[in-house]
Amino acid sequence: MPLPRSVVLIFTLALWAGLPATSGTQPVAPTAPSAPSALTDRAAVRQAALDYVEALYEVDSTRIMRSVHPELRKYGYYKRDGTYRGTAMTYEQLRGLATRWNEDQKRVDPDSAVKEAVVFEVLDKTASAKVMADWGIDYLHLVKEDGTWKIRQVLWQSPPPGN
């Protein structure tokens, strides 16, 4: 004799929700996993991306130290006199730039400047994201080491014409 539909539905919902399929009236909530969840990692990747932008906006090199790997590889294109030019930057150069780029808020107002971070993908060890900032668009590759997300590679360009 088949089980009534309501029993099958309750059992299916209990399995889907991760609850024990018991006949008791008080379900037991599932225990939290010991490893950080994908949502926590995603938030940490986004925060690293924002730290990268805010370090320059707020003249705070400690945010570079917190969010960028010391073996950073950064390369970008900016347009000057109608021609794109490429430039490389090391971790030390970026950290130094963060101490002066927006000194006295001469370039941007940190409260109103362009600042957007989009996380594309987060795996257990690597992640990718994009930031839009006053200087342009940066594509970031991050690595998780010792439980911390750090930017390892950056490819950027100044805003294209019309933006």
Say whether both 110 and 142 belong to one domain. Answer: yes
- Tell whether 52 is covered by a domain: yes
Say whether both 21 and 46 belong to one domain. Answer: no
Digit-coded pLDDT (tens) for 80-126: 888 999 999 999 999 999 999 988 888 888 888 999 999 999 999 99
pLDDT attached to residue 3? 45
- For strands 68-80 and 136-145, give the pairing: unpaired
**Regions of the chain short of the pLDDT cut 70:** 1-39, 163
How far is 40 from 22, CA to CA, in rounded Å? 31
pLDDT attached to residue 38? 64
- Tell whether 162 is covered by a domain: no
Say whether both 74 and 149 belong to one domain. Answer: yes
| CATH assignment at residue 99 | 3.10.450.50
Domain span at 2? 1-31
